[in-house]
Amino acid sequence: MKNIKYIFFGSPEFAQTILSALITAGLPPIAVVTNPDRPFGRKKILTPPPVKLLAEKYNIPVFQPEKIGEECVEEVKTLEAEAFVVAAYAKIIPKTLIDAVPLGALGIHPSLLPLYRGASPIQGAILGGEKETGVAIYKMDEAVDHGPVFAERKTEIGENETYAELQKQLAKIASEMIVEILPKFASGEMTPVEQRHDEATLTKKFKTEDGFISEEMLAKALSGENQEEAERVSRTIRALNPDPGVWTLRQAQGKPQRIKLLSAKLENGQLKLESVQMEGKTPQSAKLYF
């Protein structure tokens, strides 16, 4: 197995799972590039990204640029890496940086490319009502999730599977794939296949307003009389929790009250709310309110 000097780019738990698998398999990176520490929670405590915590545990050098400019490119060049492995980094890596390594960059994307390119492929697949999704490992170019694909692996999406559950499954699949593919990539054994660009779909970063469910829509979903509405609301709750969250407004004491819809299941075409959270309170059983 050819050893490869590569730099790992990534930040959240999805990327941390993949990095952990590479380290365990005896394929650690020479350095990690991840997001800067950010304030988190109500108390705004400065919190490092999961990838940084794992890298520091194994004494792997960590770089946390706010943006990838010329200074970052020059700094990375000094490491004399042969390749990059990129998973959920959430920043555009410029072509000047990709061209700085002789083997190029391997991108790990949790969808079956060219479907659901962009920022939110897992959420996009659930919202789109897909029955299956997967992981693609591809050679990166200057466009987002655009390069030719080395390998893809599929998995089913369960009727009530949540974003968190599906993300965990896809991270496991991605970990198995990259451990197998990286050595072959390093030795030049693999040839990527061009994507079907005319079939490409794009996802966006979801905002708070995307998680709004009207009281009327929710009532139809809960009644069992409108299966289409029930499926739509179920997909929204499964896809957009915990971030940006799903919510509705309900009249209480003459004014609208915001209610977070935390979890639900679809049973025989009818929505069954499980857990909700009233504004300023802790999560409770939905049976108390619906």
For residue 224, tell me if it sits in a domain.
Answer: yes
Residue partners of 110: CB distance under 8 A and separation at least 6: 14, 121, 122, 133, 134, 135, 167, 170, 171, 174
Comparing 72 with 141, the larger pLDDT belongs to 141
Cβ atoms of 156 and 125 within 8 Å: the answer is no
Q: Are residues 52 and 130 in the same domain?
A: yes
Say whether both 189 and 269 belong to one domain. Answer: no
Lowest-confidence pick of 71-80, 127-136, 183-192, 203-212: 71-80
Q: Are residues 49 and 163 in the same domain?
A: yes
Residues forming beta bridges with residue 80, ordered by sequence position: none
* Averaged pLDDT for residues 60-75: 87
CATH (domain of 34): 3.40.50.170
Report whether pLDDT(43) > 90. no
Please give the pLDDT value at position 252: 74
Average pLDDT in the chain: 93
Same domain, 257 and 142: no
The answer on 182 and 237 residing in a single domain is: no
Give residue 1's pLDDT.
53
Domain of residue 277: give its range.
208-288
Does residue 142 share a domain with residue 182? Answer: yes
Question: What is the pTM for the complete model shown?
Answer: 0.93
Q: Give per-residue pLDDT as tens, 248-278.
A: 998 777 788 899 999 999 998 899 999 999 8
Residue 251 sits in a domain whose CATH number is 3.10.25.10
* Structural domains of the chain, count: 2
On whether residue 102 sits in a domain, the answer given is yes
